[in-house]
Structure 1
Amino acid sequence: MSLQFEFPANLTAENFIAALSHEVDTQLASRQSSCKTYYDSFDWRLYSNDITGEFNQAKSASSLTLRSIKNGSVIAESERKKVPLFSKEFEPGIIHDIVAPLLEMRALLPVCTLEYEVYHLNIVNKNEKIIVRLLIEAYSQFNSRVLLQPVKGYDKAAEHIAELLTATLGLTATDKSVLLTALQLQGRKPKDYSSKLNINLDPEMRADIAGKYIYSHLLKAIKVNEQGTIAHTDSEFLHDFRVAVRRTRAGLSQIKGILPPNISAHYADFFCWLGQITGPARDLDVYLLSFDRYKSSLPDSIREDLNPLYDFLLIKQQKARKELAKKLQSAQYLSTLAEWELYLKEPSYKKPLEENAKLSIKELADRRIWKTFTRVMHEGEAINGSSADEALHDLRKSCKKLRYLMEFFQSLYSEHQIKHLIRKLKGLQEVLGDFQDYAVQERTLKLFSEEMMALNIPANTFLAMGVLIQDLDAHRCCARKDFASEFEVFQQEENQSDFRLLFASSKSSRHQH
């Protein structure tokens, strides 16, 4: 049985209540003006898990309600004056337990706000007992609605009212959330931002045109994360901004011979600069996000001694964030990005001069992925127990390039096959990433402790940092050992033949330029 019903276009709440009162006994419990603000993370983490977060503000009280998108039922509700920015600011309880693992480090932001009138209407039986409750929400911008709230023990009455609403009063059962309707009015839709790459390419598309299409998609991600990065709304804006920059750099270096060399070189320099200026702030974000993990890796007796490191990192992060914000508002950044956008919008030449521009994008994708995969195999096979750390670092960079190419071009291949191969590559990437992260964190913490020496920080903090550095070193050694077994899996003949089948089966990929 549906619990949500939409009014016909011209029906007002008063007329609805009057018409319903002819059919059953009603009591108007309350009527008040209200304001509903929907909240979610920038990348729709609640909505993606079938939840809407509604903050309802009326004169009498305000509350945050989590609802199921499927049927509008209340999952959790709590009275509160305002909505915290981060889930860790919620007091312990059901709302915190639901949103914390979904939001992680993302901020809870207002998505849209609606003003409306809310009526609490009770339907009573001959003994004046409430048998069904109705919540009417009267909107001025679109059709009003009524939410049926059954009362325990009166299921038949609820079914009767649901039938009455549709058959007699002309309402329509709906499972479409109010949020969906409100977003449509703004020309938006839920999940209109995701950090996942979803680029649909036609296999026959000319390579230079497809390249511009990919870069335009990445430019959109850079621009949409720009303001959140400058304002430091949450750490993921900068993370997604950097990923889009890195993907662009990988494209310019890996999808070769489709753009004029001077254009490729100019923008490769620009995106390299962008990678450099965003690095320090992102690194500090990572240290702060990892801080609880750092503390929990230490013996109980010295955990609190690490706290001065957090304060030190926080000051450094705020400084790095300010410097970055300045650079992202500079003429150098704004004008070069605008020029890149204009270049991508220019129509492509009918007869391009670049050697790979005229190829179909499928042909070029096969070639580039196969060539990069071959390099990954060659670099990985050369690594043994005595290889320098640098060799693993280089392999990690090659794996990243391979991953980006596979993600750029995944729409050109069987979804099941390419996703399976990306998953295999991810396993190898993770262990290489861990190895690199532990090595960098170990090195950086040593540098930080030197900087902190001049700051009158208690000796116990340095002892705790020493234990942490040892712990990171142990993890780094484990990751190095794990690499050997992970590469062995990746190296298996079955995996190599899957790659060969998908990317090297055409003649074009064997005759590489």
Structure 2
Amino acid sequence: MDMDGDWLLPRPNTLFKVNHRPAGSSLSQSSSIASTFSSLATPVVAEAVQRARALSTTSDVEGFHQLRVAFRKLRALYWAYSPYLGEEATAHATEEFKRLAAVAGGTRDWDIAGALLSAAQASGASVEPLVAAAREKRAQAVAHSQTMIQGDAVEAFLNDALLHAQTALQSRCNDLPIRAFARKRVRLAQRALQKRSRRAARGEATHEEDLHDVRKAGKKLRYLLEFFQPVIKGGHGRTIKTLTAVQNKLGQFNDIAASETLIRSASFSEVPPEVVQQSLQWLEEQKCRRMRAASRRVRAMS
């Protein structure tokens, strides 16, 4: 895991309060760019803090997943507002969001790998020693996540980062209306998705990296549509539904590909090499099948 992007965490402060308002609940077309950032970021921050605190006492599967999702949403939001936040501030914040998401994702990744190995075992593959080893790896990932993600530190970092962002936005775009800005950022995200989808659909063979790029671009666009729906024209419910369906197919493929990489890179001292190899062979077969399904979805979308 890349720790170079670590951003020193300040002491907890109360300068930027979080609450549990639904995202976008106070948005309107007359809102300013600066005020909408606060409205959109605050509930996501509240969820991230709540999830981080809960993980100190529990290893809930969904909790780790939703914490990672919250950090991904914040990365998308910072990208949207980056023209006024500035490159340096955006880079600092998003690198730390990425690092924290990766730490939370370690447990989630072993949950997925363990479930896939159990499916392999149910299909007749003799991988029981690896299933047990994956459970141990998952326990190690939980301990690492709980050590690296402290609720107070996460809250302090998010409060500080958002306070600096809000201060910058108020000084640069406090009176600028949100609607045109939101539509422009959504259009840019749409173009990025279209470009990556066309690249993935080009030629007969689809590369894993291209599908991964489509998946990331699709997530960014979906998050932005969910954030900005109250202020941009046109119903985007169908687009969000389509993106979600494509993301599901891409996610199924990514689960297999990520699990294969995870198992290849891990050390299993008490698991016979032939067991590891059998599991990798099963994963490879499943990956090819899911990759074809994901490619068909992307080609249809492009």
**TM-score tier (shorter):** 0.7 to 0.9
How far off its partner does 1:398 sit? 1.0
Of 20, 30, 50, which aligns to 1:204?
Answer: 30
Which residue of 2 is the match for residue 227 of structure 1? Answer: 53
Question: How far apart in 2 are the matches of 1:475 and 1:358?
Answer: 53
Shift of 1:330: 8.4
Aligned to 1:182: none
The corresponding residue for 2:72 is: 246
CA distance in 2, matches of 1:367, 1:243: 24
The letter of the residue matching 1:245 is: F
Residue pair 1:216, 1:344 contacting (<8 A) in 2 also:
no
Structure label with greater radius of gyration: 1
Determine which of 375, 397, 415 is the counterpart of 2:216. 397
1:440 corresponds in structure 2 to: 258
Tell me the CA shift for residue 347 of structure 1: 9.9
CA contact (8 A) 1:208 1:258 kept: no
Corresponding residue number in structure 1 for 2:144 = 323
- CA distance in 1 between counterparts of 2:48 and 2:152 reads 17
Q: Which is richer in strand?
A: 1
Let me know the Cα RMSD of the aligned residues.
2.9
Does the 8 Å contact 1:288/1:310 carry over to 2?
yes
Shift, 1:353, TM fit: 2.7
Amino acid at match of 1:394: D
For 1:391 and 1:212, the matched residues in 2 are separated by 34
Given that 2:76 and 2:220 are in contact with CA atoms closer than 8 Å, whether structure 1 keeps it comes out as yes
Is the Cα contact below 8 Å between 1:210 and 1:361 reproduced in 2?
yes
More helix by share: 2
Distance in 2 (CA, whole Å) between partners of 1:240 and 1:330 is: 15
Identify the residue that residue 385 of structure 1 maps to in structure 2. Answer: 204
> Structure 1, residues 391-416: CA drift from partner, whole Å, max 9, x if none?
2211211111111111111233578x
**Do residues 366 (structure 1) and 183 (structure 2) align?**
yes
C-alpha distance in structure 2 between counterparts of 1:241 and 1:273, whole Å: 12
State the 1:335 CA deviation.
3.6
TM-score under structure 2 length normalisation: 0.80
Superimposed CA distance per residue, residues 300-348 of structure 1 (whole angstroms, 9 cap, x where no aligned partner): xx4xx42222321222222222222122238864542342354467696
Contact 2:33–2:169 (Cα < 8 Å) also in 1? no
Distance 1:274 1:238 in 2: 11
Match of 1:477 among 288, 295, 299: 288
For 1:481, the aligned partner's letter is: R
Aligned length: 281
Percent identical pairs in the alignment equals 21
2:53·2:151 contact (CA, 8 Å) conserved in 1? no
The answer to whether the Cα contact below 8 Å between 2:78 and 2:90 also exists between their aligned partners in 1 is yes
Structure with greater contact order relative to length (CA < 8 Å, sep ≥ 6): 2
Partner of 2:121: 295
For residues 195 and 167 of structure 2, the distance between their equivalents in structure 1, rounded to whole angstroms, comes to 39
Match of 2:252, as an amino acid? Answer: D
Distance 1:328 1:444 in 2: 21
Partner of 2:245: 427
Residue 157 of structure 2 corresponds to residue 336 of structure 1:
yes
Question: In the aligned structure 2, how far is the partner of 1:240 from the partner of 1:397?
Answer: 17
Matches within 5 A, 1:114-193: none
> Which residue pairs with 1:13 in the alignment?
none
Distance in 2, matches of 1:319 and 1:467, equals: 24
2-side partners of 1:410 and 1:238: how far apart? 27
The one-letter code of the counterpart of 2:28 is: D
SS in 2 for 1:231: coil
Query: What per-residue deviation string (whole Å, max 9, x for no partner) do you get for residues 354-400 of structure 1?
Result: 6xx65422212211111211221122112232353212211211111
Q: TM-score when scaled to structure 1?
A: 0.50
Runs of 5+ unmatched residues, structure 1: 1-191, 492-513
Deviation at 1:254, TM superposition (A): 3.0
Q: What letter corresponds to residue 412 of structure 1 in structure 2?
A: V
CA distance in structure 1 between the partners assigned to 2:152 and 2:51 by the alignment: 18
Could you say if the C-alpha distance between residues 408 and 331 of structure 1 is closer, same or farther in structure 2, counting changes exceeding 3 Å?
closer
- Residue 309, structure 1, aligned to residue 130, structure 2: yes
CA distance in 2, matches of 1:403, 1:312: 36
> Aligned match of 1:466 in 277, 287, 300?
277
Which residue of structure 1 aligns with residue 15 of structure 2? none
